[in-house]
Structure 1
Amino acid sequence: MAPQALALSGLRSVANRRLSGVERAAALMLALGETHGAPVWKLLEDDEIRDLSGAMASLGPVEPAAVDDLLVDFVSRMSSTGALIGNVESTERLLKQFLPKERVGLIMEEIRGPAGRNMWEKLSNVQEAVLANYLKNEYPQTVAVVLSRVRAEQAARVLAILPEEFALDVVRRMLSMEPVQKEILERVEQTLRSELMASLSQTSRREPHEQMAEIFNSFDRQTEARFLARLETASKDSADRIKQLMFTFDDLGKLDSAGIQTLLRDAPRDKLTVALKGATQAMKEFVTSNMSGRASKMLMDDIEAMGPVRLKDVDEAQAALVNLAKDLASKGQITISKSKGDDELVY
């Protein structure tokens, strides 16, 4: 008998009972079986696999009606709104239903806090001013240990911010530092995690609309339009705010010369012509200024000879170029942004 059939046959002999979160997940994975469950298993972490496997091993028989209700509930939750909008709070609530509290805390620290595989990588992604403000209240020897473990360029910028006498004391201690005992290093790491990182995870959350605009920028055009349409119905103000923050066709005018030339090289000629037909004069001049004189003249001749074009076709052509820019950016071939200078946002 196939594993899926065997699992389901064992679910038919016991009356219905209330399942915990991890038991519900275990029953769902048993019902999915080897074929349909395999892609899910591949996405799980080792500790998640252990928790889920343990629940499956001790699950026992479950009434088939409970399995049906579980599957129907899962599908209805996924399809009831047509669009899912996640945030930190809803993610944390969901994880608490399936994972131990300590594990959820570590996962949320990864999400909210600086990126990095370990404490020292995370620390290297903390802003120098924030790190210096924290370290200035620590013992110079502790600061010396911390700065000896981060990137040299970051340590230099932190030292430049610290009070001069304090910084010189730290430098002297770094120069005479003996190998740090493992126990001391672990205590320093634990202090950083419980104080600095915990503080950052609570205070450094991004503005939700800005974060959601970045997510929408990663959608394909059809998904983006579908989500925005549903969101406009539910909350027009939020939809308008997200659209303001998203990368648009006009933002292509912020590409540097190398970026726009890369885009023009890969852009389908017919899409480019239609997109520019409905573009501003400034955008037309920006594009043609990054083409040879002959290619520029041919493009403008094609646009003038085109005649009237439906606005819908212009929108679709411009969207195609925006999606092309996103694809090129994801491959690292161009950099797209909403602004210039020090406040540049790279998507």
Structure 2
Amino acid sequence: MSQQVATIDPTTPTVRDIDANTPLTSISGSEKAAIVLLALGQEHGRAVWAAFDDDEVRRISIAMSRLGKVSPEIVEQLLGQYIMELGKAGALVGNFENTERLLVQFLPEDRVNAIMEEIRGPAGRTMWEKLSNVQEDVLANYLKNEYPQTIAVVLSKIRAEHASRVLSILPEELALDVVARMLRMESIQKDILDKIEQTLRIEFMANLSQTRRRDAHELMADIFNNFDRQTESRFLTALEEDNREAADRIKQLMFTFDDLGRLDAAGMQTLMRSVDKDKLAIALKGASEKMRDFFMENMSQRAAKMLQEDMDVLGPVRLKDVDEAQGRMVNMAKDLAARGEIQISKKGGEDEMVY
């Protein structure tokens, strides 16, 4: 940013309004810096101000004092441009070490350790989802030293395809014992399940997180999943122009509302029983015609008619409310899939399953 604040014209008018039609090329470096810092605010901008020397502070302060109204469109463009330029310039190095070094400055050590363990560990919302993303040979190597009953519980909770690969790596005698126990297994008491989860978290995941580096595309897919639709579209479009391969990889890893269209009939019925009907109406209000039809086809005629009436009564709905309702449904689907209550086929193939 310091390279953008080299000059400021002393003849600049006292107040300069910058509307949406103002070309970015007509905004000086000092003005751009001033706008970005105003957008960051006191809390988030403090560290940036501290990095400037006295001359830079003076120049940006002068530019800031001469700014009038700045349109939201210009602010958004400048923030987006600044982020893209930082990425191209390679001026920042984001890695686990730098992240940890930054966090310890304002968070307690135990919380930093927990956060770093989480982001270094395998992706997933639950322990079982995380285990399903651990390489099968790594998981098998850990489980072979556990009691057969514990192994049976773990394999019964992760994806079937992943469990099969882990089972095939275990010593044959142990694997057959585990199979026999899984066949006899009844419902597992919650306290036993909680104890196994805690053991896995302390003894396995904590050690795994010290060595495993989470794929950057997985991390970005999680981040993009939490964007609202307009922000997601804007960043994906920009990324496609800059790095098509990375954009395609992120899109493959993302799980969106439209991906619910890959649920089978039984899975859709389970999901709809778990979703608040008011939220469903709001979510479908902003959905594509294809997704609306998909949901309607999995309902009785009476239920579909009532849902359509609910949608009609809603009238115009804020995009923010639609995004929130759809996000809740996506999270609900993930939770149900993690518990093995529904199955969602992968984008890349009909035979593979996620969660």
| TM-score band w.r.t. shorter chain | 0.3 to 0.5
TM-score, reference length from structure 1: 0.42
TM-score, reference length from structure 2: 0.41
Task: State which structure, 1 or 2, has the greater radius of gyration over its C-alpha atoms.
Answer: 1
Higher RCO (Cα < 8 Å, 6 or more apart)? 2
